Chains A and B, each alone.
Chain A
Amino acid sequence: ILNVEQSPQSLHVQEGDSTNFTCSFPSSNFYALHWYRWETAKSPEALFVMTLNGDEKKKGRISATLNTKEGYSYLYIKGSQPEDSATYLCAFMNRDDKIIFGKGTRLHILP
Chain B
Amino acid sequence: NAGVTQTPKFQVLKTGQSMTLQCAQDMNHEYMSWYRQDPGMGLRLIHYSVGAGITDQGEVPNGYNVSRSTTEDFPLRLLSAAPSQTSVYFCASSYSYGLYGYTFGSGTRLTVV
Task: Show the binding face of A for B, using Cβ within 8 Å.
Answer: 4, 31-32, 34, 36, 42-49, 51, 89, 91, 93, 97-104
Pair B105/A43 contact, Cβ less than 8 Å: yes
Report the Cα distance A42→B37, complex, angstroms. Answer: 13
B-side residues, CB < 8 A to A, are 33, 35, 40-45, 48, 50, 56, 58-59, 90, 97-107
Report yes or no: B102 in contact with A46, Cβ–Cβ below 8 A: yes
Collect the chain B residues with CB atoms within 8 Å of residue A99's CB. Answer: 33, 45, 58, 97-98
A/B pair count, beta carbons within 8 Å? 58
Complex contacts, B105 vs chain A, CB 8 Å: 43
19 of the cross-chain contacts (CB-CB < 8 Å) are A31-B98, A32-B98, A32-B99, A34-B98, A42-B106, A43-B90, A44-B102, A44-B104, A46-B102, A48-B101, A49-B99, A49-B100, A91-B43, A97-B56, A97-B97, A98-B45, A101-B42, A101-B44, A103-B40
Closest B residue by C-beta to A90:
B42
> Is there contact, CB below 8 Å, between B99 and A51?
yes
Q: For the complex, what is the distance from the CA of A31 to the CA of B43, rounded to whole Å? A: 19
Of the residues B42, B59, B97, contact of A102 by C-beta under 8 Å: B42
> Which chain A positions have C-beta within 8 A of B102?
34, 36, 44, 46
Q: Which residues of A contact B33 (CB under 8 A)?
A: 99
> Which residue of chain A has its CB nearest to the CB of B91?
A43
Shortest beta-carbon distance from A76 to chain B in Å: 19
**A46 and B103 form a contact (CB under 8 A):** yes
- Nearest residue (CB) in A for B103 is A46
Which residue of chain B lies nearest to A47 when distances are taken between CB atoms in the complex? B101
Cβ–Cβ < 8 Å partners of B90 in chain A: 43-44
What is the CB-to-nearest-CB distance from A8 to chain B, in angstroms, rounded to a whole number? 15
Contact of A93 (CB < 8 Å), options: B41, B97, B104: B97
**C-alpha gap A4/B101 in the complex (Å):** 18
Q: How far is the CB of B61 from chain A (nearest CB, A)?
A: 13
Are A43 and B106 in contact, CB atoms less than 8 angstroms apart? yes
CB-defined contacts of B59 to chain A, threshold 8 Å: 98, 100
* Chain A residues within 8 Å of B101, by CB: 34, 36, 46-49
